[in-house]
């Protein structure tokens, strides 16, 4: 571990077994945080935690389905028992849209996306506030992963944009509530453009299978052309923003939306 921007902090990451969550867990640890890596895929969470400890950091890897409130309560209590306090919560776990038009979208599919991408964040914010509100040594930072599709709309992702847009405003409501209550907790959202992760690879393959693109290379190029900077994002691009929001360098930021999108929404 080389740097100490996050020394003394304990970070809890959801969906930390892959993609943006895994890169963020590794970066948080590299900057000195103790990290609780959680995921629906417990083995993936354990593997990321093992990578952190192998590099000299402190981490544990646990199962957490973010839609399960009793599991949230248990994992937060275990975090307090293991590391003494919770200071950073990254609500990252999410699933891809079904890629249906609104007129074809099944209610059950709508509810599944909202359950993971919105209810999961609500539960994290709720139990994160409860765990952090009495912090004295280190103020709390809750970081909610939204998307550019929490700012602008798109087609074939109505469930996803509805959830991500709601995460953006839930974040502001939570920031105001914490400030009004004088809790030492900041709450901010981050809004990535398209990022090279397993979710994106699966999405590209599914778009090709459904005939929207002839092959994944073409699909990739089309997505790339949406980003003026000329490339898709990397998980580490997002992890750098997570480290900043987790650190005391962002002490005056709450209720903010940090966009990391290669210019996607600047157009």
Which residues are the active-site residues? Answer: 160
Q: Interface residues for ligand NAP in 141-180 (CB under 6 A)?
A: 145, 147
Under the binding rule (CB under 6 A), the answer on residue 20 touching ligand NAP is yes
Among 27, 87, 92, 113, binds ligand NAP (CB under 6 A): 92
CA neighbor of 82 nearest in space, from 142, 36, 29: 36
User: Number of helices and strands (H, E) in the chain?
Assistant: 9, 7
Q: What are the backbone dihedrals phi and psi of residue 56, each rounded to the nearest 5 degrees, phi first?
A: 100, 5
Under the binding rule (CB under 6 A), the answer on residue 90 touching ligand NAP is no
Min dist. Cβ of residue 238 to ligand NAP (A): 7
Determine the interface stretch with ligand NAP among 5-13, 61-69, 170-178, 250-258 (rule: CB under 6 A). 61-69
19 or 158: CB nearest ligand NAP: 19
Helix (H, G, I), strand (E, B), or coil: what is residue 144? Answer: strand
Residues with Cβ within 8 Å of 212's Cβ and at least 6 positions away in sequence, in order, are: 99, 219
Residue 51's CB is within 10 A of a number of other CB atoms, namely 17
Determine the interface stretch with ligand NAP among 99-107, 133-141, 190-198, 210-218 (rule: CB under 6 A). 190-198
Residue 176's CB is within 10 A of a number of other CB atoms, namely 13
User: What are the tokens at 79?
Assistant: 């975090």
Binding site for ligand NAP (CB under 6 A): 14-15, 17-21, 39-41, 44, 64-67, 92-95, 116, 120, 145, 147, 192, 194-195, 197-200
């Amino acid at each position: 571990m080389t740097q100490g921007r996050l020394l003394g902090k304990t970070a809890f990451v959801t969906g930390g077994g892959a993609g943006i969550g895994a890169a963020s867990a590794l970066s948080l640890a590299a900057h000195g945080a103790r990290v609780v890596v959680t995921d629906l895929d417990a083995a993936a969470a354990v593997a990321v935690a093992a990578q952190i400890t192998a590099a000299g950091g402190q981490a544990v890897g646990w199962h957490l389905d973010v839609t399960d409130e009793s599991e949230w309560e248990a994992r937060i209590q275990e975090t307090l028992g293991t590391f003494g306090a919770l200071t950073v919560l990254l609500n990252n776990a999410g699933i891809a849209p079904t890629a249906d038009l609104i007129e074809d979208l099944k209610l059950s599919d709508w509810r599944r996306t909202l359950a993971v991408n919105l209810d999961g964040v609500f539960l994290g914010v709720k139990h994160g506030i409860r765990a952090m509100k009495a912090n004295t040594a280190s103020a709390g930072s809750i970081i909610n992963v939204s998307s550019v599709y929490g700012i602008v709309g798109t087609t074939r992702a109505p469930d996803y944009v509805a959830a991500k847009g709601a995460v953006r405003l839930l974040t502001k409501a939570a920031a105001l509530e914490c400030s009004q209550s004088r809790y030492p907790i900041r709450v901010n959202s981050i809004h990535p453009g398209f990022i090279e992760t397993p979710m994106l690879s699966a999405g590209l393959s599914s778009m090709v299978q459904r005939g929207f693109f002839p092959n994944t290379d073409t699909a990739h190029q089309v997505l790339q052309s949406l980003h003026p900077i000329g490339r898709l994002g990397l998980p580490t691009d997002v992890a750098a923003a997570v480290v900043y929001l987790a650190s005391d360098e962002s002490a005056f930021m709450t209720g903010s939306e940090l966009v990391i999108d290669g210019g996607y929404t600047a157009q």
